[in-house]
Structure 1
Amino acid sequence: MSAVSSQYSERSGSNRKWLWVAFLLLPVVAMVDYHAGFELQFSIFYLVSVYLATWFGGWRMGVVVSLISVALSLTGDLASGAVNKNRLVTGWNCVISISFYMVMISVLYRLRMFQRQLEVRVRERTTALLEEIQERKKLEEAVLEVSEREQRRIGHDLHDSLCQHLTSAALAGQVLSEKLQQKSLPEAADSEQLVGLIESGIDLARSLARGLAPVELDMLGLTATLRELARTTTIRARLHCTLEMPEEVLLDDSEAVVHLYRIAQEAVNNAVRHSGAERITISLQNTPRGVQMQVVDDGIGLPPGAGRKSGMGLHIMRHRADMIGAVCEVCALAHGTCVSVLVPTRSRAEGAGPTSV
């Protein structure tokens, strides 16, 4: 409401200014009309004042200015020596001038009303569009919140149920293997291989659980979690993934920590699945503008038209950045892709010296 009232007062002040201009032009045109003599018609120059008065003051103000214009024009002609053989000629000229002004006032007033209706429609549709954008933004935030909660729940379930179940199966297999070895049966080697497969499944399930619900994110913060992400990516994807930090970076905002980790996770997964990269570098550093995180790979880069038709992963990364007031940029390099996120912040953690990763 305050914005609307300020806009209305600003518009009212502008209208009054132009009305003053309209009235100040009248004596100027009248003086020029008088000095030019009655032979030259200056009626069209009065239209400037009539136009300003009608456009910014309404049709009533336009009628008032047109009447004053006709009176000034008639007075100037008479003062400059104009003589008509019949008084009806003077009246006829006045009626013609007034009629001409009335037609112009009618046209201008209709145009002004049409413009105002368009402005009202534009404001209404703009307001509706902004409300829809806000609702969609809230919906996307709710979807991301539910997704984050479900990922954590699935991760905890994997860790607490499946991993425990596989651990029990591995222990049972180990007991069976020992019994078979005691009896010197040839199936003992197969049972040992089965136990190894189960233990590999336990490691895989724990890795998935850490990706869905990283415990370090709650306990140790962003640095340790990104380091673990780089380590597990190196093992799982069989490529070289590292974390580089010139100094220790601390973020007090837990929501920013979660979203930054998810952005890094999505960028790394995209590089592993689509880029064919052999090396992925995650960098985290303090800058004068805030905390900056970059995920750079040496893959094939962005496909043509990726900036216009962003995939769901890029859209989610940008939306996560927007939720914490950060700026997310995805750009193609000479060899590879760079995902950069800048989190503006005023507080700076004092660096504890270079950190080797």
Structure 2
Amino acid sequence: KIIGAINCLHDITVRKRTENALRESEERSRAVIHQSTAGIVGTDLMGRIIFANEKFCSMLGYKQHELIGKTIFEITHPGDMAESRRLFRRIVRKAEPYQLEKRYRRKDGAALWVSVSASPLRDAEGKTQSAVAIIIDISDQKKAQAFLEDRARGLEGEILAISDREQRRIGQDLHDSLCQHLTAIAYMARSVALRLKNHRVIEVEHIEKIAQLINDGVTEARTIARGLHPVEMEPPGLVTALAALVKQPHWPVRCRLEADEEISVQDSTVALHLYRIAREAIINANKYARAREIIVRMKHSTKGIELSVIDDGVGIPANSSAGSGMGFHIMEYRARSIGARLEIKPIKPHGTRVTCYVRK
């Protein structure tokens, strides 16, 4: 017969609290992983995927069960395969984390640029058991980078074209002006030398003509040099340089300067950029406007100084946007670099005005 019972009671409150805390911690971790805005994926030491969060699945267009069991190399772009394998082997053998920009292949076959930060997961003895990676979609960054690189290559080509144009202009200036003066001087000097050799009388006018040609050559050399670095350090230097600019003989279209009295730019850097803007606008007007006259106008305004280049040519074509060319972009860059604003507008009845507004 059963004559009684013995009950043994063990207090498991602490254990239950620990289990509950562990379960809550796991639930929180699971929620963080699956609600993360970054892709998170875990793999074994063979690279097989053992878990993937919702973000990673959506990035690649797979369901979770479709990814589980695949290796990370099956979804890696062939062009990035070798580097991915090399870095994964480093995690397995040396437990070294890595960061890598690479391409995955989505389920639809499209390439996806991502940034991968992978780390080893170790057991209590410090031995690597698996790996986990955080994946961030950088497709938009790569597209922007590619756009900027294409734009930079285009700009490099246009800058080289501008450089070639400037070299041709300097060569033409040297040929058409200075070289002609030097040729004339050489011719007259030979003539005088022959007269001396033949003991003939040398006319004073011939010597004076040689001296005049030399002086003209010096003036032309100074004009060309002024074009390379035109603005003197003194405040009135800009107006002086603009006056010399409009008088250069090689302009196909007549140019003139209109400037307020006692106008000056104190900052030599600002003055140099304004000169370059005016010169680029004059070049463009001569090249494209088919104008009869170009006016460079510099005046005071209530907010500062206005420098304008105005032509009476054909104006801006209806099917062309103002400021779409490389010349405008260069002028706009110069204006921004000195805190100014550049504006290009058609004027009535016809023509174009390029204006740079410089604040006080």
TM-score (norm 1): 0.46
TM-score (norm 2): 0.45
Identify the structure with the greater helix proportion.
1
Identify the structure with the greater strand proportion.
2
